[in-house]
Amino acid sequence: MFRLITGIAGPSGFGSASTAEQVTQGIDATNLTVLITGGGSGIGFETARVLALRNAHVIIAARNIESANEAKQLILKDNKTARLDVLKLDLASLKSVKAFADNFIALNLPLNILINNAGIMFCPYQLSEDRMEMQFATNHLGHFYLTKLLLDKMKETAKSSGIEGRIINLTSVAHLHTYDEGIQFDKINEETSYSDTKAYGQSKLANMLHANELSRRLQAEGANITVNSVHPGLITTNLYRHSSIFIKCLKYLTYILWKNVRQGAATTCYVALHPALKGVSGKYFVDCNEFEPGTFATDKDLAKRLWDFSNKFVDAA
């Protein structure tokens, strides 16, 4: 907590006060193609901007194409040589995820880095078009399916280029605040027991379990791809638009702990690009430093069960 408040750097040399530009200073990403979901706003936009600044070819996947194209123009205004493309993706729809993956693969581009950034938070109870609780559908299943569909492309890129591939799942400290069983598989769509905050925590726990299980599988097959989870910190973005009055009051009272967007994108950019993390996989990062996650997040049996549950759902859709 002291380090969070003061911004004092950790073992990596960076801390909560570090910005995305600072943690990527001097890194040339010219040979990298990066796909980021939700790159049209908030920390996703800042991540896209900084990665483009470091010369990566950035693909912004977004539900709101108009907003994403406006974001692209904002980046190009200050960085006229930025390589940016925008493609439509609605993570709450598995049909949209499949169409996006098909469209991306048809472009015949390499894929070095996949950043599963987009998300929704504290939403009222609702089901997705695939009949899944919306926060779980958007935050976890959409990204799970997207990663599955693009994994062969990432393996192919890593093998042909000799450059390590990296997958980053954005999670949250909220993974500690979930349902009693961690993931309530048997009651995933139950409205009577629904809690907007616990459902969010459940989805963020799922992001971590997905990353850990995928990391384990890729290491077992010797693939040159790492998978890690990052908590960006508490950041003022429109992600909190569904927050209760209590959460908004808590936010006001804890203002000293909150980051700006440039600081919020730092950990993602650090894990995506920094050479110090070569070969590091299956880890959880906070403020650009490795951090110990909650007990559920390290449960290998829970991760395997989630993997099987998710595969079965997306394959049936």
| DSSP letters spanning 12-39 | TS--TT--HHHHTTT---TT-EEEEETT
Sheet holding 165-170, edge to edge: 83-88, 57-62, 33-37, 113-116, 165-170, 225-231, 284-286, 289-290
Six-digit token pair at 284?
């959880």
Six-digit token pair at 165?
């591939």
CA 7 – CA 3 distance, rounded (Å): 5
Catalytic residue among 125, 179, 194, 284: 194
Furthest CA-CA distance within the chain = 52
Six-digit token pair at 311?
């595969």
Six-digit token pair at 128?
């997705």
Judge whether 252 counts as a catalytic residue. Answer: no
CA 281 – CA 267 distance, rounded (Å): 15
Contacts of 273 (CB under 8 A, 6+ apart): 24, 27, 29, 32, 51, 54, 56, 113
Identify whether the C-beta of residue 77 lies closer than 8 Å to the C-beta of residue 132: no
- Start-to-end Cα distance in the chain: 43
Query: Which letter does DSSP use for residue 136 in this model?
Result: I
> What contacts 24+ positions apart, CB below 8 Å, involve 11-14?
11/289, 11/290, 12/270, 12/274, 12/276, 12/288, 12/289, 14/266, 14/270, 14/287, 14/288, 14/289
Report the catalytic residues.
194
